[in-house]
Chains A and B, each alone.
Chain A
């Protein structure tokens, strides 16, 4: 093979190889790290599908009727699912954000709601 041909092959390989190798990881999978293992408020399948409805129902109950039960409270979600590393449900590895990024769903809750649980002392970082 001529040096020119060799160079062309090398260039071709340099272009194609990474694409082939990375094809499997092109869509980043959501990072589901459960730092506090235990029972969620419902089974996993129900939670995956119905958590927006649960939260939406609870938010109206809380806002307008002052009903502050723990089961479907957003603060409850955050307290359990905040990452042990970052202390938040947001960020690339965050429980909420990584999955919403994967599903292509905008996550508006945390424009107003705290993405970190309240510290016991009441002081926030």
Chain B
């Protein structure tokens, strides 16, 4: 090896070491600048470093309050069709009461965004899928409306669209013949906003809903899940739901 080549390697080695050292000083290991900024660029694909979740504090959720349900309907263009029994329902309030003690809860229930979603297991076309960041969605382009997922879901979270629609929100396409459910307002999440239900709950000063990244130990939701005892509905099914409840 000539002296000149040796020098070249030395310089490269020096550069690599100094770059690594600088990176180590500037950032904690495993954290890239984009994650610190919090936002994902529009041309970047979602990754599984993020796990979106919801925490619902049932002690703060008032019986009879339907702010989250109304916000969901207006954001996603869910209008009454005159057939209430078959109207799409992405989020609903469930009233619970312990008959012995009389203790009552009012709980919003929506798609629980399972880690192992049964709706995805049964879908014959692959329309029902889980995004890398944990949001469970229906790709209407491939949904054939067979409704297996509706049967498979233990949370009654999915609806079938029976009627034609014409006044959709441009961000939320929906139409007759497909199954749909809570998308965790994926169009808003992708723009770094909160889901509509969470925003409405916070705006009305109820503060019963927290949205965030369960994988990020610094996020409010992860801190609260670590600090307080929380439950997941039908935890015995081990579906690893992304929606946590506190107080039931």
Q: Show the binding face of A for B, using Cβ within 8 Å.
A: 59-61, 63-70, 75, 78, 111-118, 124
Contacts and interface: CB of A to CB of B under 8 A. Distances in A.
Contacts of A116: 170
A66 B176 contact: no
A63 B137 contact: yes
Given A63-B137, A63-B139, A64-B139, A113 B45 contact: no
A63 B141 contact: yes
A113 B141 CA distance: 11
Interface in B41-56: 42-46
Nearest to B161: A112
B170 A65 contact: no
Interface string B177-210: 0100000001100110000000000000000000
Interface of B: 40, 42-46, 129, 131-133, 137, 139-141, 164-171, 173-176, 178, 186-187, 190-191
Contacts of A111: 164, 175-176
Given A61-B45, A67-B44, 6 more contacts: A60-B141, A64-B131, A67-B43, A68-B190, A112-B168, A114-B173
Contact of A67 (B45, B129, B165, B170): B45
Given A67-B43, A111-B176, A59 B170 contact: no
B196 to A, nearest CB: 12
A67 B139 CA distance: 15
B185 to A, nearest CB: 13
Top 8 A-B pairs, shortest CB-CB distance: A112-B175, A65-B45, A66-B46, A112-B173, A114-B170, A113-B173, A114-B168, A111-B175
Contacts of A115: 166
- Prevailing SS type, chain A contact patch: loop
Contacts of B132: 65
11 contacts: A60-B141, A63-B141, A64-B139, A65-B46, A66-B40, A66-B46, A68-B191, A75-B171, A112-B165, A114-B173, A117-B170
Given A63-B141, A66-B186, A113 B44 contact: no
A49 to B, nearest CB: 21
A112 B42 contact: no
Given A69-B42, A113-B170, A114-B168, A59 B131 contact: no
B141 A59 contact: yes
Contacts of A124: 167, 169
A16 B22 CA distance: 87
Contacts of A61: 45
Contact of B169 (A63, A65, A114): A114
Contacts of B173: 112-114
A78 B173 CA distance: 13
Contacts of A112: 140, 165, 168, 173-175, 178
A124 B178 CA distance: 23
Nearest to A79: B170
A118 B171 contact: yes
B158 to A, nearest CB: 16
Contacts of A70: 42
Given A65-B45, A69-B42, A78 B174 contact: no
Nearest to B187: A68
Contacts of A117: 170
B168 A64 contact: no
Contacts of A59: 141
A69 B44 CA distance: 9
